[in-house]
Every structure is written in structure tokens, then in C-alpha cells.
Amino acid sequence: MSDTIRSLSTTGLATKKQIQCWSDALTDLCGRFDIDPLEGMSFEGRIHFTTMSKLKLCQIEASQHRIGHSYARARSGEHPYIKILFQTYGVSYFEQDGRSIEIGPGDCLAYDVSCPHTIVSPALTRHEVVIVPKELLRERGFRLEKMSACKLSARSGTTRIAHEFAHAAFDEANRLSPNSAAGVADSLIDLLLLPLREADAMFDRGGPEAMYVRAQGFIREHLRDPELSIEQISAALGCTKRYLHMVFSDRGMTVSDYIWRARLQHCRQELETQGGKTITDVAFSWGFSSSSHFSRVFRKYFGVVPSSVHKAAAART
């Protein structure tokens, strides 16, 4: 059945209590995550959420932060959800299984919450989210074992229709009878599956999405090589540089952007978990050749300098 719309805000709390309050709210929605406010003096977050049958619908606004579900937290069955995220304001950077995806206003991101991932939002973001239990997708024949995180455009087509329906469902949730709520929830799942199945079919046909995944795989295997280039990638995949540029530009980035972001993600992970290594050692091991360049792009991407991450890791050991 539908539920009343509930709200939560971290405004006015001490920073530690803000983080704990946000963590508790996320745990109730879809599992436990690590939260880092980056260099923010406080963490300002607001959630409005409701349930509709077995679905959870949320409207979320948050200041700069990083959220992560790490390998250390990964436990079978702990996060049994698929999350459909519609970005409405700001830019976020999603990382899962070596893939980096930039999402901005008008974008939709669908991903498996149970797989370790991070989302970095360097500034204020707003998004609307539908949290779907995996069992509901399996019942409808969707092949979850093949699903990888996918970015869709909610500016047109079936994804736009699904977003508008989800927005309206949230607004009307507390006015629906239990029977009506169940019917709306079923209709929403079917609408959300339309773009997911389209993306799945495109991958099977070997189109741009398949090439994108193949390119990501090659980049992951050669990420430590400082000479990694688009020429090397296109030659290995048997496509032209122009086609590879198109595949990545359709996702709002260049091949070079993707490579550097992936390297930065790995560098941060090592700085957080391997306090015995120097910052320079970590940077150079992942293809950077200048410490100053590394520090500059690290701060631009994460909103925090590498030395603060390194010191925090050392303090924990």
C-alpha cells in the first residue's frame, strides 16, 4: 500500500550527527553506505520519501559529498535493489566495476545497488529516485545477471515518460487507496522496464553501448600504462578513433576524461586503504607523471586534496 510522505533534514545538526542521520536514512531505504562530506564544513541533506506497494520513491537534495558502498561492506542479499536515479540538478560522478559515468540534469542512471560503487557530487545535487526490489524485475523476465549500470536520457522517449509518471506518482502517493497504489506501482515498474529493455537490446546488437563496455574493459586492463591513448584503444578494438570519440561523447565525456577519472578513483581507493604508500607512489603507479598535476585534478574531481585523504587513512592505521 502507499504510505504518507515522510521528510528528513540534516539542517541545524552538528556535522557528525548530520552524517549519522543521513546514514540511518539511507540504511532504511536501501542499505548501509559510507558518507564523506568532502571538504564541506557541514553536510546539508533533505529527503522526502514514500512507499508505494513494494517500491520506494524519493526526492533527494544534498550538498557536496561522496557516498560509497565498498567491497568491505558487500554482503550477499544486503542491498537487493535496482535504483533508478533521475538527476534534476547538479552533476555527479558514478563509479562501479571500473566504469565511470557522469550524470547531469536530464540524465537517468539505472544500477544494481548491491554491487560496490561510489557517487561523488562536488556541489549541490537534486535527484528523484525509484528503488525497485530485484524480485519485481525478475518476475517480469528481466535478466538481472546481465545488467550493468547504464545511463539513459530522460529528455525524450520512454525514459522521459517513466520519469514524468514517477514524479506524478510521488505527488499523488498519499492520496491513493491501497488498491490504486498497487496498480500505479505495477504500471510504474512496467514503464521503467521499457528503457531498460531498450538498453539491453542495444547492447545485444553490438551497437555503441557494447563498444563502450568493450572500451571500458580495455582501459581497465591498461589503466596503469602512462602511454594509454585513444590510438591504442581504437586499434585494439578494431574501430576508428572518430567512432570511439562519438561513443564517449554521447555519454558526455572524452576518452581522455574517462581514463583520468578512472585513474583518480583507483588512486583515492589506494590512498584510503594503503596508508604506507606515498602520494607520489600512488599517483605514478596509476599513470600520472606529475605530482602537481595529480594534486590539481584530484582536488577538482573530489573536492578534497590528496594529502587530507592520505592523512585520514594513516590516522586510522
Q: Distance between CA 124 and CA 200 in Å, rounded?
A: 31
Q: How is the chain split into domains, by residue range? A: 6-203, 208-316
pLDDT score at 203: 56
Secondary structure (H, E, C), the chain: CCCCCEEEECCCCCHHHHHHHHHHHHHHHHCCCEEECCCCCCCCEEEEEEEECCEEEEEEEECCEEEEECCCCCCCCCCCEEEEEEEEECCEEEEECCEEEEECCCEEEEEECCCCEEEEECCCEEEEEEEEEHHHHHHCCCCHHHCCCEEEECCCHHHHHHHHHHHHHHHHHHHCCHHHHHHHHHHHHHHHHHHHHHHHHHHHCCCHHHHHHHHHHHHHHCCCCCCCCHHHHHHHHCCCHHHHHHHHHCCCCCHHHHHHHHHHHHHHHHHHHCCCCCHHHHHHHCCCCCHHHHHHHHHHHHCCCHHHHHHHHHHHC
Percent of the chain with pLDDT over 70: 92
pLDDT score at 1: 42
What are the angstrom distances between the C-alpha of 221 and each of 226, 233, 244, 253, 306? 12, 11, 17, 20, 24
Residue 108's pLDDT band, with cuts at 50, 70 and 90, is: very high
Average pLDDT over residues 1-20: 86
177-227 pLDDT tens trace: 989 999 999 999 999 999 988 877 655 555 677 788 788 888 988 999 999
148-166 pLDDT tens trace: 788 899 999 999 999 999 9
pLDDT score at 77: 58
Q: Which residue has the cell 563509479?
A: 95
Residue 146's pLDDT band, with cuts at 50, 70 and 90, is: low
Contact between 247 and 212 (Cβ < 8 Å): yes
Residue 316's pLDDT band, with cuts at 50, 70 and 90, is: low
Which of 22, 28, 197 lies closest to 121 in space, CA to CA? Answer: 22
Does the structure show a pLDDT above 60 at 70? yes
pLDDT score at 204: 55
Instruction: Give 218 or 78, the one with higher predicted confidence.
Output: 218
Select from 3.40.50.1100, 3.20.20.190, 1.20.1250.20, 1.10.10.60 the CATH code of 208-316: 1.10.10.60
Topology (CATH level 3) of domain 6-203: Jelly Rolls (2.60.120)
Average pLDDT over residues 88-94: 95
Q: Distance between CA 246 and CA 233 in Å, rounded?
A: 14
Residue 239's pLDDT band, with cuts at 50, 70 and 90, is: confident
Q: Distance between CA 271 and CA 121 in Å, rounded?
A: 19
pLDDT score at 75: 55
